[in-house]
Structure 1
Amino acid sequence: MGKLTALHVSRATKRGLLGDGGGLYLKVTETGTKSWVFRFRENGRLRHHGLGSAETLSLAEAREKALLCRKMRLEGIDPIEAKKRRQATARLKAARSITFAECAEAYIEAHRAGWKNPKHALQWPSTLSTYVYPVFGPVSVADVDRTLVLQVLEPIWNDKTETATRLRGRIEKILDWARVRGYREGENPALWKGNLSLVLPAPGALKKVKHRPALPHTDMPDFWKKLDRVGGVAALALRFDILTVARPGETRGATWDEIDLDAALWTVPEERMKGGKEHRVPLSPQAVAVLTEAAKLRKDKLIFPGLKKTDTPLSDTSLTKVLRDLGEGDITVHGFRSTFRDWAADCTDVAREVAEACLAHTQENKAEQAYWRSDMIEKWRVLIEDWARFCTGKAPG
């Protein structure tokens, strides 16, 4: 012990190890760089534990560090592994300030270039912002646990199963990424097998969503000929609903003050819209003609009032009865929206975003959001007028 002196340390230039005793060595490299090393055996294997640069640590300081290492060896502790644990703890402590949302954004950015489908880069932040961030977006990624994950998934697992299963997979990938980066430890709380599978029902076992039966678009012109011969408020409402591709409830609740005949525009206020946003519907000449007929029967503010009370909208069953009377009881009023969507996809070259905007579907990406601006209304008008001509047999299928 204590074989070296400060003079030995300063004059050492030859490559190799100079022993001070007690496992402490001065390591000199070919370039003359000097550092302190503590050597010990673990399970018969010789190990070298770096203590620091000789330019930073004096001989006395290096001996103090070596003494601490020898004390650890007396307790059966490996100094190298102990250092790794200290570093991991320090990294984890630093990671406490990194939120799940920050990790999610970093994950998306890191993988964006590798996603062949550009939709992924849009759907990931969209679903995370809608469902995850309100629950644990600002929470430290190290603190995200099974309870928080279930708070996100359980409310939508049965009704929006496909969205929920994709969301679970995205959360799992982000948490795995955070673990590899050293931001969290332990089991991934979003794992399915042996974890969430014990709490949530298997997606395949859930009742499938039953889509509302729709009229094939190829049958629409013939169907319209039959519908056009039916009189009454309910038949008028059904024709207006088909021509505007609105939801039945929006049509039945339509009021005259929502209509601008000069601009051929129907503005449905946000409180009557499923998505909670105002929706502007261009009116084709055929739709205006329906309103002209309805105006002859006008009694109050409602365009299509109930048969018994003029201040109450038509019931949904009134429109369904028209279909039954026409021998089309196997389709639904709401299904005509699907008929329009299929027609737009099969018979036109219109952009998908325009058709989705006509249907007032929730905008999934920025491209679709652009079509909701007021200066895009004419794009919708062209499509709506083509649809009206197709329905009424004025245009080829």
Structure 2
Amino acid sequence: MGKRQVERLSAVAVKKATTVGYLPDGGGLYLQISPTGSKSWIYRFTLNKKERQMGLGSYPDVPLAKARELATASRLLAKSGIDPITARDNERNALQQQRTFAECAEEYHQIHQHTWRNEKHASQWTNTLKTYAYPIFGTKAVSDVSKADILAALTPIWTTKSATAARVKQRIHAVLDWAAAKDYRHNHDAGIWAQITRALPAGRGNRGNFAACAYKDVASTLSAIRTSGSDDSAKLALEFIVLTGARTGEVRLAEWSEIDFDGKRRIIPGERMKSGNEHRVPLSPRALEILEAQRGKHPKLIFPNNKGKPYSDMAFTATLRRLGYEFTVHGFRSSFRDWAAEQTSYPHAVCEAALAHTMKDKTEAAYFRSDLFDKRRELMNDWAVYCTEEKPSSVAQTEMATQY
């Protein structure tokens, strides 16, 4: 067919047409005019010896040029033996099934919410994504979330809010992997994370480490804390954190029901542990002395503040800052780990178990069920002794601390 036989209509003719019925443009494309005067496009074709017709949209929403484009695409499908109506419906269904990143994150959160340690942690999980990820790509189809999108969310906070940025990265990673497993995210490249890590700015946030006190200075630091002007309960809690290698929250919320004085141990319930597993903590003689000093101050909390409530994380940080120290409370765990590695011969597994670290090797973890409690008791007793023996290099720090 020549062009004149196929493209019979003009844009002006389509606009002015009023006769009820079908006006052919050629190649199976028709302009349909209803008795009410509305106009729409119809494509007629034959497939498997059956005549079919397919709506291509109403005029003027779909102009003549667009109608011809749609008719041409449908004609090519029909010539290949593919029903263009079925193909269109499948495409629409696929689009309807596309989920945004935010929708995937919410669904992931709902499915996994029973694994969160507490309500606060569950809300923080989604809040960090709402704050840092959603504004960049929350409404974007999860299949279309790119490395550039992820970097746009992480880069501004990578060095200024390193701990938060690391959590956001971990949560984005979890959502995208889950979406790929559910077939919501297509052409997912699991290797993008190494590229993203290399692309992020270098700095403290990129290492994910907490500033730590050198282990040789821990004894003098504890001595300075004991003679500082902070609340007695706060000072003892801070020392207890150091002696037991605990995370701050594990001591701030510590309760008397967790203490077994006869067994010289503390049993932290799983819901307060990062791993979600119950953790037995051997108590050194000095740790037991601290507990004895706290007896009778509160019926439930071991280390209550002067209002009978748990201390905040900042209360302990403030004690360190008033003494002129720049390291973090959490960094004392690194101090302990460095000391254990460099100054003792305890096996790696014992040192890691003391910090309640889970084994990264899942196969090894499946066969290794012991928490090495007796070995850890020896290790923590040695650590407590080390923490009470001041080193000569720390004298100046102790003198400075007594001024506060």
Q: TM-score range by the shorter chain?
A: 0.3 to 0.5
Structure with larger RCO (C-alpha < 8 A, sep 6+): 2
With the length of structure 2 as denominator, give the TM-score of the two structures: 0.47
Q: Is the radius of gyration larger for structure 1 or structure 2?
A: 1
With the length of structure 1 as denominator, give the TM-score of the two structures: 0.48
